[in-house]
Amino acid sequence: MWMDVSKKNVVVSEIIGIIRDETTNAMVFRTNLTRLGQLLAYEAAEFLNTKKTEVETSLGKAEVNSIDEDMVVISILRAALPMSEGVLETYSEASIGVVSMSRGKMLQEKGKDFRIDCPYMHIPYLENKFTMIVDPMLASGSTMLYLLKSIENQKPKKIVILCAIACKYGLDRILKKYPEVIIIAGAVDPILDERGYVVPGLGDAGDRAFNT
C-alpha cells in the first residue's frame, strides 16, 4: 500500500511547498526535510506493534502505550541524511543502517529503469525487525528495488519506505514486486520524464540539501 500524506495533513503540504520551491536555500531545505522526516515517521507509527506499560506520577499510576518493536532505520546516502535525522528524533531507540547508492547507466529508454551502483552498504541484521527505509525521492524505483532485493533474505518483519516525493510509476513498480511493503510519501507526482526525474518533483534532493 501507499499513502500521499499531503492530501490529509496541511503541515506536510506546506513543507512540500517549501522544498519544491526552487528559491529555497540549502539550509531551509535541509531543515524542512528533517521536519518532514518527523511527520512521516509519525504516520509510520500506525503500523507498529505496541504494549501496555505503567508509569508512576506524583499522584499515582498511569497506563500508556509503548512501542513493542525492534526498529532499524536505513538511510540512503547522501540525500536521505536530513530526513533520517527527523525519523531518528522520533524513534530514538532505532538502530541505524546506511547505504551509498547512485544511478548508473539507463537500462531502458525514457528513464524507466537504471543500473544501480552501490559501493557501500552497512546495515544491522534485519530478521524480525521493523525496518524503515528513508530516501527523499522515489522516481523509477530502481534504487529501492535494488535495496529491497539486497535485504529480502534477511526477512524483515515489516518494511516501511518514507519518501518526500514519489512518482506513481515507481510506486506501482515496487508494489508489484513487493506488495507487502508500505510506502509513505509526502506527496505523489504523476510524471516520470525521459531522464528518470519526477515531475514536478523538487530537483535533485542531494544537490539541493548540500548546495552542490
C-alpha cell at 50: 505496541
C-alpha cell at 130: 521493523
Q: Which pLDDT belongs to residue 111?
A: 67
C-alpha cell at 123: 546495515
Instruction: Specify whether the CB–CB gap between 140 and 170 falls below 8 A.
Output: yes
Report if residue 55 sits inside a domain: no
Band (pLDDT 50/70/90 cuts) for residue 77 is confident
Domain of 152, CATH number, reads 3.40.50.2020
Band (pLDDT 50/70/90 cuts) for residue 194 is confident
pLDDT by residue (tens digit) across 59-71?
999 999 999 999 9
pTM score, whole prediction:
0.93
Report if residue 58 sits inside a domain: no
Instruction: Specify whether the CB–CB gap between 167 and 187 falls below 8 A.
Output: no
Report if residue 57 sits inside a domain: no
**What ranges make up the beta strands (E) of the chain?**
2-4, 50-57, 60-67, 71-77, 95-106, 114-122, 130-134, 137-138, 158-167, 182-189, 191-192, 198-199
Report if residue 33 sits inside a domain: yes
**Domain with 30 in it:** 2-49+68-210
Q: Which pLDDT belongs to residue 5?
A: 98
pLDDT by residue (tens digit) across 104-141?
777 666 668 778 888 999 999 999 999 999 999 999 99
Report if residue 40 sits inside a domain: yes
- What total of structural domains would you count in the chain? 1
Phi and psi for 90 in degrees, rounded to 5?
A: -80, -40
Report if residue 125 sits inside a domain: yes
